[in-house]
A and B are shown apart, each in its own frame.
Chain A
Amino acid sequence: MMINDKNSQKIVDIIQNYARKHSLWILAYGTGCGAIEIPPTMTSRYDAERLGVRGAATPRQADVLLITGYLTTKTLKRVIRVYEQMQDPKYVIGFGSCTINGGMYWDSYNTIKALDRYLPVDVFINGCMPRPEAVLAGFAKLQELIQAGKADGARKYKENLEWYRANQKKVIPNWRMPEYNW
């Protein structure tokens, strides 16, 4: 935008955030058992589409990355790749206890315990597994954050890239990724 005035920028932000809030295209990265909660959320029973939530086909088109459950280190690499391919502004929703503290995999050797050490998570939905109502509540929370302009995980990721990278590289043994060039 060419408008530099602070107040008009604020108005533009409000409009843009309103649009972003009502149009969440999700990329459901179906890891773990949480993936099974997505279909009931999207279909007739709970119908997330009335909130503007809609599936996206590729990371390029998506706004929200859903991590639905535990992440093995092997999957984490792919998830990072997918996250980095998404376009700003982008949000991450961690799904279930596994993404918060490891859940029932708390002592597993090949899953990560806390997702927000590797990716900037905007909203966590707890539960094992969270029911569709909880998922909808999570989307509502994300919408609130977006409207308030507080869902800035992508910015955090950009700023603390080194810290995130160090954490990622610590758990992923064969790190072979194209250099991240924002």
Chain B
Amino acid sequence: MQEILQYTWGALVSFVVAFTVGITYMGLNRKITARVQNRIGPPWYQNFFDVLKLGSKETSIHHGVMQHMGPAFIMVTAVMSLLIIPILNDNRFFPNLNFHGDLVFLLYIMVFGPLGMALGAGQTGNPNSAIGVTRGLSQMVGFEIPWVMALVALMIQYKTTSIVDLMNLQAETGRWLMFTSPFAFLAAVLAMLGMFRYAPFDIVGAPQELASGPMSENGGKYLFVMMSAGSVFAFAKLTLYVDLFMGGANNLIILVVKTFILYLIPMLYGIVSPRYRTEQAIRYFWGWPSLFGLLAILQAVFL
């Protein structure tokens, strides 16, 4: 009983933290984008207003059961990855469900939500949604390759498939994996560009072209859950990167600093980029990022 309570409590706290930090990052993204474009931009807490507003919408429509469940799918994915990814090095405050071999599990659980949401988007009958989904899935096949290569390189080099083991290893040696396996880090970061779907890989939900693609029929509470899930998921992914490559974090402040530095990469890359077509994006991911992934594997095998 005690254990269950502890689990629930930890899950709740980490969820709240992830939600707050994730939403703040989204707001900061808008602010920084605005500053780059020589605007004043919204305040950094703007996205809290947006989420609150979406949550307090009085009506919302759905086109059937799958669309109704779609946002819940993506939320499950976000929460699950948050539960499995260790948040801090010393994980006493955030007890979570990580276990050995969780890297492979994460790879799959992270596509569970997008697929569920894709089903929801499909049921709307809006052609824009379906087009967006096909683009999103195609792009996913693109960036998963360098990402998996990076992870496999780590698994080979350190002979473990557990995130906690990798974190302990970094804590013991005091050297971050981004320095000991730089190619894996490069490949993973380039894959992250696709994961975050900022420009130049934002053709999936291009507002001008596809009317925001998969989300085009979701309003009100559905959009609320999706937006919060998106921010939680973003934080979870960033934490995973920090855990894997940047030595984890000993307390929340360090975690926030590290994740924010990491978050700047897709954000700043996005601000100055135009947009790729889907096949260009796929070929991009199978070009340099995969080459780095290959180098990472070679490094892991021969060094």
B6-49 toward A: CB 8 Å interface, digit per residue (1/0)? 00000000000000000000000010001001111111001011
Closest beta carbon of chain B to A120's beta carbon, Å = 16
A52 adjacent to chain B (CB < 8 Å): yes
Please tell me which one of the listed residues B41, B49, B208 contacts residue A19 in the complex, with CB atoms under 8 A apart. Answer: B49
B52-73 toward A: CB 8 Å interface, digit per residue (1/0)? 1100111111000000000000
Contact A15 B37 (CB under 8 A): no
Closest beta carbon of chain B to A22's beta carbon, Å = 4
Closest beta carbon of chain A to B228's beta carbon, Å = 14
Closest beta carbon of chain A to B297's beta carbon, Å = 40
Contact B52 A58 (CB under 8 A): no
Residue of A nearest to B220 (CB): A87
Contact A49 B52 (CB under 8 A): no
A131 adjacent to chain B (CB < 8 Å): no
Closest beta carbon of chain B to A10's beta carbon, Å = 14
Closest beta carbon of chain B to A64's beta carbon, Å = 12
**Set of chain B residues within 8 Å of A44, measured between Cβ atoms:** 37-39
Given known A20-B53, A22-B49, A44-B39, contact A87–B212 (CB-CB < 8 A): no
The docked-state distance in angstroms from the alpha carbon of A58 to that of B57 is 16
Contact A58 B217 (CB under 8 A): yes
Closest beta carbon of chain A to B197's beta carbon, Å = 15
B261-285 toward A: CB 8 Å interface, digit per residue (1/0)? 0000000000000000000000000
Contact A87 B219 (CB under 8 A): yes
Residue of B nearest to A17 (CB): B56
The docked-state distance in angstroms from the alpha carbon of A59 to that of B219 is 8
**Set of chain B residues within 8 Å of A59, measured between Cβ atoms:** 219
A60 adjacent to chain B (CB < 8 Å): yes
Please tell me which one of the listed residues B56, B208, B212 contacts residue A20 in the complex, with CB atoms under 8 A apart. Answer: B56
Contact B40 A16 (CB under 8 A): no
B215 adjacent to chain A (CB < 8 Å): yes
Residue of B nearest to A13 (CB): B56
A8 adjacent to chain B (CB < 8 Å): no
Contact A52 B61 (CB under 8 A): no
Contact B39 A49 (CB under 8 A): yes
Contact A23 B53 (CB under 8 A): yes
**Set of chain B residues within 8 Å of A88, measured between Cβ atoms:** 57-59
Size category, A interface: 20 to 34
Give the dominant DSSP class at A's interface.
loop
| Cross-chain pair count, CB within 8 angstroms | 88
Give the residue among A15, A60, A89, A182 with the most B Cβ atoms within 10 A.
A60
Given known A44-B39, A49-B42, A50-B41, contact A55–B207 (CB-CB < 8 A): yes
A174 adjacent to chain B (CB < 8 Å): no
Contact A50 B217 (CB under 8 A): no
Give the residue among B39, B60, B212 with the most A Cβ atoms within 10 A.
B39
Contact A52 B58 (CB under 8 A): no
Contact A47 B56 (CB under 8 A): no
B162 adjacent to chain A (CB < 8 Å): no
**Set of chain A residues within 8 Å of B48, measured between Cβ atoms:** 19
The docked-state distance in angstroms from the alpha carbon of A20 to that of B55 is 10
**Set of chain A residues within 8 Å of B56, measured between Cβ atoms:** 16, 19-20
A21-33 toward B: CB 8 Å interface, digit per residue (1/0)? 0110100000000
Contact A58 B58 (CB under 8 A): no
Residue of A nearest to B129 (CB): A58
B106 adjacent to chain A (CB < 8 Å): no
Contact A19 B52 (CB under 8 A): yes
Given known A15-B52, A23-B49, A52-B46, contact A87–B57 (CB-CB < 8 A): yes
**Set of chain B residues within 8 Å of A55, measured between Cβ atoms:** 207
A61 adjacent to chain B (CB < 8 Å): yes
The docked-state distance in angstroms from the alpha carbon of A53 to that of B34 is 13
**Set of chain A residues within 8 Å of B77, measured between Cβ atoms:** none
The docked-state distance in angstroms from the alpha carbon of A63 to that of B74 is 24
B156 adjacent to chain A (CB < 8 Å): no
Contact B58 A61 (CB under 8 A): no
Please tell me which one of the listed residues A15, A52, A54, A89 contacts residue B57 in the complex, with CB atoms under 8 A apart. Answer: A89
**Set of chain B residues within 8 Å of A50, measured between Cβ atoms:** 34, 39-43
B contact set with A: CB distance below 8 Å:
30, 34, 37-43, 46, 48-50, 52-53, 56-61, 207-208, 211-212, 215-220, 223
A-B contact pairs, 29 of them (CB 8 A): A19-B49, A20-B53, A22-B49, A22-B53, A23-B46, A23-B52, A44-B38, A47-B41, A49-B34, A50-B40, A50-B42, A50-B43, A52-B42, A52-B46, A52-B49, A52-B50, A57-B212, A57-B216, A58-B219, A60-B223, A61-B215, A61-B218, A62-B219, A87-B57, A87-B58, A87-B59, A87-B220, A88-B58, A89-B57
